[in-house]
Chains A and B, each alone.
Chain A
Amino acid sequence: MAERVSVLAERLVDEALRRGFEEAAALVGRTKAVMVKMFNSEISVVQRWSSLAISLYLAKEGRILMTTIHPSGAEKAGALIERAIKVAPQLRPSMLYAPLPEPARVERLEGLVDSAVVNAMSDPEPLAEAMLAEVGSLGVERAAGAITLSFAEKGLATSKGVKLEEEATGIEAYLRAFIGEASGQWSVGSRRLRVEDLKRVARTAAELASQAKGEAKQVEPGAYDVVLSPMVVGNLMNLVGMMASALAVMMGNSIFARVEPGSKVAAEKFTLVDDPRTPELLGSTAFDDEGLPTASKPIIEGGVLRTLLHNSKTAAKMQAKSTGNAGWLFPHTWTLSVKPGDAALDEMIREVKRGVIITNNWYTRLQNYVEGIFSTIARDAAFYVENGEIKHPVTRIRIADRLPKLLSNIELLGKELYDISWWEVSPAVRAPYILARQINISRPFE
């Protein structure tokens, strides 16, 4: 029987202290995962992984060393600690150094493990067959996608006496459906497996592909109202979430670099929550990498920046409190939720005089993180809307604007929420459709 991950973590912390480090933390992950990849409506490969990952935080006289190992055996971690103690004197003290925090009470998060996920891991093909059957019945010519199921054990120990353990399952599924040149894509990410969710992903992808049939036209560059699907909102909120990290702010990689908490940064209706304590969300967890309890809390609430995301190091540097988002160096979101509004999608579309609906996107890239100058490309189904009606599919457009303007120009949020996770949305985001006014759309000139 394999050693418990928290026991292994504690053993490694003890070893680090014994070898001369003043402080240590060990985060041990043991993960089993299986992925079914599909294309042209058949399975292209099934992959299975079984891995052990050990991350160590080691500190001495303000010097910080971090190691990550995917070792062939835990004994290799010991060799790395031995090496690290020799490296330590050659380093300078870290400008971010602060002691590891004292242990705090961590309330266990119930419902992180779904036995349906564990059971499906031994025979995942039927899930793929169910998704492919669903789109097949809706006239889809071919489909591609992936289903990943995982079971992960996470163990944490620190030299302050933290010893914690958590188990969690995960499912991510997405499908791209094609009818001729038209395509639609959708996804789901959750701690829980519901076959109906997977079928809904397949159905939504098929419906979008079906709606996008017909000649896709280009639109002239300029300002349009934009209706963004939860897939697109998820992608953009990953960016906002990353920028909320206090270290991103210190690195000049954030629109919040010149903004104080308490400032208005978005439309009043907009609330974005870092949401680790909603157990069904993929990414949920009870404790961070320093052993502090996580909290679901707004990053932006009612359009106002409430907090940056901190670990105890960035908190000490910026005279703030840890928000339970360690990363030993880089604080990060766990999983995000956008607060819903009260609009139905068709009501939202009716509000548009001249606009576009973008159902999926990728390649969000920035010219300048501080000013949030970015562009992102629509892929799959996108539509031109005039006077509240969808007129025709559009192709090859991108949003090219400023992120702060997009956040400020949000006017409506959908009432239905979707749990999104795929290649371009990670960590997972729970999001509604949103409508933002007068956003710049560009396209290739020729």
Chain B
Amino acid sequence: MHEDLLQRCVDEALKLGASYAEARFHRRSGSSIFTRNGELVGYGESIREGVGIRVVVNGALGFSASNSINWESLREAVAEAVKLASAHAKLMKRPIEFSDARLGKAKYEALCLKPLDSMGPEEKIAVLAEIWERAKTAVKQTKLMTLTAQYSEDVEEKTVVNSDGALIVSRVPRVTVSYNFVLLHPQKGTLQRRFEFGGSGGLEQLGKWKPAEHAEEEVVKLEKVLLEGVEPPKEPVDVIVGSEIVGLIVHESCGHPSEADRILGREAAQAGMSFIKPGMLGQRIGSEHATVIDDPTIPGSYGFYLYDDEGVPARARYLYKNGIINEHLHNRWTAKLFGVESNAAARAMDHDSEPIIRMANTYFAPGDYTFEELVEDVKLGVYMRSYMEWNIDDIRWGQRYVGLEAYLIEKGEITKPVRNPALEITTGAFYSKVDAAGKELRFYPGMCGKGEPSQGVPVWFGGPDVRLRSVKLGVVA
């Protein structure tokens, strides 16, 4: 779509003195439905479209965007980007250069088995209403204070043309369903759970997710945690970290610190920096069980793409491999500085945003343990299955995850529920203490934030359940 117009933008930028130029038509269109306690609150639709222009002039970067897709406006945007770059070129100490890359000319789309418009809004509302119905009937000894549920769909269409020969046309539809509920008990207080399903593709995913059934199971299990949960043990114990938390941990403490722009300091005042410094490839970060992969090409994934926004073909990136820092996430600029090839991590949220280095689908590589095998030789421990509160410091070293559904493990068996255990641990300690990983790999969707203005891009994070030996847990105040 718009290839000729985009090529004209690129040619114009080169004519005006750019050494590199890129024009990206980017369209996001979608709808969302929001319900509370089974009732519709509102229905929304949105469309964002336009063209983002990025140029390098005399070693400086300029970006401008316009949502008027006609030559007159785009020529102005090109001139603007060139002018912006030229104006600060004199201030550049280290001119921007891009690594050589084998760029693609390709067209691809994520397949929808069941198109997004094959169900009307009415049926989609019914999916959300059922979440409330099932959850409400599952509550026995507490009150379901409130349950909100949201459905959203989004189609991302892009055409990327650049002066190094790339032409990538793509279309990726995505669907998410999320719910958030609060259980209330007069003496025990409240407990809150939020959960989200998400992936690329069509409405066939709803059948796989079964969100109402999921919510019902959560209500039953979490009611027990609220009513019967005990404090976690005070002494160091073995901890089985559930895949939902493992996925978040690897996203935060492997994926983010592996972003090469962050390693170089480009995001220092916003999303922060990295404990990984240039030259740390090959250093040990964890046990041999610690392998973390980021792979944009997983079919059906929320972070799916086959070419990045610089036209570089995507592939799986082994960020930590058997406990060793193995590879960073690169765009063509950082690849040049690190003397490697780009591994296709450049992505922009929308036409208004410059492509920056992003994760796609980051996961802890599964091992060969069943869940029972992970549990059976734990004398005293805690299994943390889900979480709500979490955070990590800006070099991605000190992190905290507070368990929501959690259980005591005694003599190799899951016994009673545990309330709010806090896993507060450094990145080094987490990866070093992993002594076993489960065989079942699960993924969870998320919207990852980075950049200025902040760009939210869809990602999956995943992993199996993993076991940590001898960890001290905190107690929520």
Q: Which residues of A contact B (CB under 8 A)?
A: 34-40, 42-52, 63-73, 76, 80, 83-84, 87, 90-96, 123, 125, 129, 142, 144-146, 148, 174-176, 178, 185, 221, 250-253, 257, 328-329, 362-371, 373-377, 379, 396, 398, 400-402, 423, 440, 442-446
Contacts and interface: CB of A to CB of B under 8 A. Distances in A.
Interface string B441-459: 0000000000011100000
Contacts of A379: 272, 393-394
Contacts of B84: 34, 46-48
B190 interface: yes
Interface residues of B, number: 90
Contacts of B424: 442-445
B269 to A, nearest CB: 4
Contacts of B94: 42
B389 A365 contact: yes
Contacts of A92: 39-40, 122, 125
Contacts of A35: 452-453
12 contacts: A37-B452, A42-B91, A48-B84, A92-B122, A123-B87, A125-B87, A176-B268, A251-B180, A329-B34, A367-B404, A377-B393, A379-B393
Contacts of A125: 87-88, 91
Given A43-B92, A69-B46, 9 more contacts: A50-B66, A51-B66, A64-B43, A72-B49, A95-B40, A148-B453, A363-B392, A365-B391, A400-B474
B78 to A, nearest CB: 12
Contacts of A148: 453
B182 interface: yes
Ranked nearest first, the 9 interchain pairs of A and B with the lowest CB-CB distance are: A363-B391, A144-B268, A367-B389, A95-B39, A252-B146, A252-B182, A144-B269, A176-B269, A440-B477
B397 A396 contact: yes
Interface residue SS majority, chain A? strand
B391 A146 contact: no
B358 to A, nearest CB: 16
B426 interface: yes
A45 B426 contact: no
Contact of B43 (A65, A76, A376, A400): A65
Interface string B379-405: 000000000111111100111101010
B394 A362 contact: yes
Contacts of B125: 91-92
Contacts of A146: 269-270, 452
Contacts of A257: 145-146, 182
B42 A94 contact: yes
A252 B148 contact: yes
A400 B48 contact: no
Nearest to B400: A375
Interface stretch (B9-17, B56-64, B155-163): B56-64
Nearest to A405: B477
Nearest to A423: B270
B40 A93 contact: yes
Contact of B268 (A36, A39, A374, A376): A39
B48 A70 contact: yes
A39 B269 contact: yes
B390, B453, B472, most chain A CB atoms within 10 A = B453
A377 B420 contact: no
B63 A65 contact: no
B394 A400 contact: no
B35 to A, nearest CB: 8
B477 to A, nearest CB: 4
